[in-house]
Amino acid sequence: MPSVYPKASTGDGAAVPSSPKFPELEERVLTYWDKDGTFQASIDARSAGQDGDNEFVFYDGPPFANGLPHYGHLLTGYVKDLVARYQTQRGRRVERRFGWDTHGLPAELEAMKQLGMSDKVQIEKMGIDKFNDACRASVMKYAGEWQDYVTRQARWVDFENDYKTLNVEYMESVIWAFKTLHDKGLTYSGFRVLPYCWKDETPLSNHELRMDDDVYKMRQDQTVTVTFPLIAGDNALSAELEGVKAIAWTTTPWTLPTNMALAVGPEVSYAVVPAGPNGTQAGEGRFLLAEDLVGSYAKDLGYDDADSARAAVAAVHLGKDLAGLRYAPLWDIYTDTEKWGTENAWRIVTADYVTTTDGTGVVHQAPAYGEDDQKVCEENGIPVILSVDEGGKFLPMFAQTALEDIAALQVFDANKPITRALKADGRLLRQASYEHSYPHCWRCRNPLIYKAVSSWFVEVTKIKDRMVELNQQINWIPDNVKDGQFGKWLENARDWSISRNRYWGSPIPVWVSDDPNYPRTDVYGSLAEMEADFGRLPLNKEGKPDLHRPFIDELTRPNPDDPRTPEEGQSTMRRVEDVLDVWFDSGSMPYAQVHYPHENAEWFESHNPGDFIVEYIGQTRGWFYTLHVLATALFDRPAFRNVISHGIVLGSDGQKMSKSLRNYPDVSEVLDRDGSDAMRWFLMASPILRGGNLIVTEQGIRDGVRQAILPLWNVWHFFSLYTNAANNGNGYEAKARYDSTEPLDRYLLAATGDLVRDMTGALDTYDVSVACEILRAYTDTLTNWYIRRSRTRFFDEDPQAFDVLYTCLETVCRVAAPLLPLIAEEIWRGLTGGRSVHLTDWPDADLFPNNPELVERMDLTRRIASVGSSLRKGANLRVRLPLSEMTVVAPDAEALSGQFAAIIADELNLKNVRLVEAASADPAEFGISQKLVVNARAAGPRLGRNVQTAIKAAKSGDWSVDDAGTVTAGGLPLEEHEYTLETVVESGDGESAKAVAVLPGGGFLVLNTEVTPELAAEGVARDGIRAIQQARRDADLHISDRIRTTVRTGEAEAEALAANAELIKRETLTGELIVVGDLTVTDDDKDTDKYIVTVEKI
């Protein structure tokens, strides 16, 4: 008759293997799912409910498919799959639509690399249409590999119904969002200083600089301190200070050609210091700088030391009194005021941001290259003049200036020739190398510059307060992110630059008149609106609607506000050339994926906000942020209800993962060697989902097998082995059972009910790592307690044991299904013969007995056994050696009498367990005392000098605890936070035959370690039993086979075995036992080496 279990299996063999190759098993499960259509069945089995109220919506952040997935992608993928599986088991309908992020510079850079291009000139020479074709081809380069990885990690997603940000439907929703923002007065066009990548020739948003720690890198730059001679004006102070050289320090010498002003702090004191007798400045004029910084420039000003320089100060003026003073420009490049509008330039202005923490307290202002500089200069009527092109190179006009050497030079390369020119002109006071943290482009890794550019902005500052309010409605995991990293970022949110002067992306749907004399701006939010005004749609080469460049740029029309005829030169409405920031694309995902509002409007409005989202912590400045901005602005609600913001996955060296450093295990190799469930467990059980970072190691992933997968599998193997062997090999068909006459069964059933309740609580609150710990602790209970202590009952074919283990194993498979979907599937199907564990509902905890008293007593029993085992190890007494007695001193110790005391005795191989109530025991009699430790830092502010009295009293034993629990030391009452009470166990004198330990939760144990001859003999017998059992296994005997046993050992050992022959026969199913004492053994031999065992089936 075939075995009862497994009832269904993806394996070829009829029996459950003891040590399967888990990756191969997983592959078979994946194949089964594919053939069976299990994923779709899991969705179809759950109704959407009336008006879709039973749907669980999670947002699948779209990845780029122009690179292979790494551990960070796998981590978020595992969490998404886990949550979706759990919600499905809870009865919700969970659609899982995959998405692809396809626009933006990552795609353009990949296309440029493939085409051998380095700049925009080459792109436009090739043609935008052809370049964008290359971008389109590159973005899905690894789509097949992505699908393979996602499938291999047992993540269920809908690839057939995926969304792509390049689809016209998606893009139409994106331009709708822009138009809606525009209609609400939340967009504007401006000329602002922004972080700018000269390599990619495009600005960045401020939030892009804060996504990853490695955006800011240490960098060595050349700094210069430059003199600016003041010139006479029309007031007494200007006459007094004529010729005084204001000195300013900068880390960006390349911005000095566009110096337009000097900023001082209005309330900062500035000193006039005559040149000292030393150095290159000896006796040459006077200098102006912040009074607090005179000492740091002593040598440069010609003084021996700081005190000498300070003593030489001739006058002091407040910054606000210096405002308006003029100075000589460094060069005459922009002195033609009629041409450049610089009539208000080259004077001192005040700015509140100026400090004296570094530099000179006088700040060089280049309004085209500093955000604060631009604001200060515009307030003072000083123009913003650009000196470099889009590639960060100085304009050709410089070839006709005193700085001819810098024409066409990249800005950082221009620092040295500019410094040389300053020195030649006598304007250089100091130059030095300076190491500082500097922003780099997160895409190409080149150092950024700050540069004034024309850009469209979302006016985030208008809705900032509402964003902060709506954030309070979001459940953040970990919770501190809400008011911490994300909340603080929202409080300081700035307007968002959303335009990029690039090619591959959603268009900014704005058309403007090409004649400023007839201004007009049109904004479109749909293809229908465009067709109505332009008389046609933007069509690509296949004749299909396409919102990409250049097709969208081809839509032009006469300006309706220009009364002239075409023959008279009527102006034309033309689209602004910029495309939208790719973050605007991804931030539009919730509605754009369903083509809202052009389709599915009712569905989206009833399913917004989404229920769940997950990404790494950097997305608090990225995707989480842009989702929140757009949801607040468009819908006045959050974009999502629950969010896990996990930490960063690091390489094995603790650094960020790097392909070039190869500092992390190859993903595909790990999946092939250890399996997906092992990797899933490693990631899900780690602190990373609580916001911590995680170092990926191969050993850590292998530990997932040891901690979670093997224990569960071993239970399955044990169950199948014993149930199939029952009834003379005909097997036993187990059934669900929720009661039993056996205490250990009742304990396991109650613990299983607790498991379901605890797992529900953890997963309902998205506390995944806690859920892993709950499951791990339960499997430990199942394997290392219940099964280990029930083996005899299974051997005796106790139906209650079979049924209870079946019930609990089936339940734990359902509970483990989201965390270990592949292994849980194989076990559950083998156990039940059902179609899939992922089509089952979440277990009902109420089916299990709720017996907290039993669970509490059994858990205490387990703690006692654990501490007692440690005592034995500490005394070097092996478990097979019986001991006479252990005293258990614990609260309500009598509750352990009977069955629990018997378990303790059996676990620790004790002849007797003595139970003593903690209330009636004097710990001192057992060598246990308490030690008072006074926390000086906590008690000091209250006790003052008396804290030392309390500390000395605590050390000398002059302290007490009264009936109310108040601790007094040296006559000084202490508050609870000012001390700790530590339990101290006195070490033995080496002759005392006892070992003592404190019990967690209260109480202590005293183990009698004296070994009598009788106990020693029984210990030898136990060693012999172990050797015989090993011989049975080596002979591949069945657990029910009876045997004839011959044991050869030493003479003393043979006597001990003979004295305990009946015990040995009973424990080993030995019908006939022959013991021969003809070996020479020593105390140095291992226990199992003292026996030569021969077994024969009878």
Verify whether residue 843 is a known catalytic residue: no
Q: What are the angstrom distances between the C-alpha of 183 and each of 178, 589, 1056?
A: 9, 21, 96
Spatial contact of 820 and 708, defined as CB atoms under 8 Å apart: yes
- Which DSSP symbol is given to 629? H
Verify whether residue 583 is a known catalytic residue: yes
Return left, alpha or beta for 1015; rule: phi > 0 is left, psi -120 to 50 is alpha, else beta. alpha
Q: How many CB atoms lie within 10 A of CB 97?
A: 16
Tokens of 770: 């806690």
* Strand intervals (E) in 86-133: 97-100
Verify whether residue 930 is a known catalytic residue: no
Verify whether residue 656 is a known catalytic residue: yes
Spatial contact of 528 and 536, defined as CB atoms under 8 Å apart: no
Answer yes or no: is 1097 a known binding residue. no
Query: Tokens 């089916």 correspond to what residue?
Result: 847
Tokens of 545: 């609607």
Cβ neighbors of 944 (< 8 A, separation 6 or more) are none
Verify whether residue 130 is a known catalytic residue: no
Spatial contact of 822 and 675, defined as CB atoms under 8 Å apart: yes
Sign of the dihedral defined by the CA atoms of residues 799, 803, 804, 805, in that order: positive
Q: How many CB atoms lie within 10 A of CB 1078?
A: 10
Tokens of 188: 């504007």
- Which DSSP symbol is given to 760? H
**Candidate list 6, 62, 509, 609, residue with the active-site label:** 62
DSSP letters along 650-686, please? E-TTSSBP-TTTT-S--HHHHHHHT-HHHHHHHHHTS
Angle of CA points 505, 511, 514, to nearest 5° = 120
Spatial contact of 143 and 65, defined as CB atoms under 8 Å apart: yes
Four-point Cα dihedral 844, 833, 11, 822, nearest 10: -20
Return left, alpha or beta for 212; rule: phi > 0 is left, psi -120 to 50 is alpha, else beta. beta
Q: What are the angstrom distances between the C-alpha of 547 and each of 176, 558, 559, 574?
A: 12, 21, 21, 15
- Which DSSP symbol is given to 373? H
**Candidate list 89, 153, 281, 619, residue with the active-site label:** 619
Verify whether residue 101 is a known catalytic residue: yes
**Candidate list 146, 511, 583, 785, residue with the active-site label:** 583
**Candidate list 656, 911, 955, 994, residue with the active-site label:** 656
- Which DSSP symbol is given to 377? H
**Candidate list 659, 735, 952, 1097, residue with the active-site label:** 659
**Candidate list 156, 456, 623, 713, residue with the active-site label:** 623
SS3 category, 500: strand
Query: Tokens 């933006």 correspond to what residue?
Result: 104
Spatial contact of 80 and 61, defined as CB atoms under 8 Å apart: no
Rounded distance, CA 946 to CA 1094, Å? 75
SS3 category, 69: coil
SS3 category, 711: helix
**Residue 965 C-alpha from the chain's centroid:** 44
Query: Tokens 């000012």 correspond to what residue?
Result: 978
List the binding residues: 659
List the binding residues for ATP: 659
Active site residues: 62, 101, 583, 619, 623, 656, 659
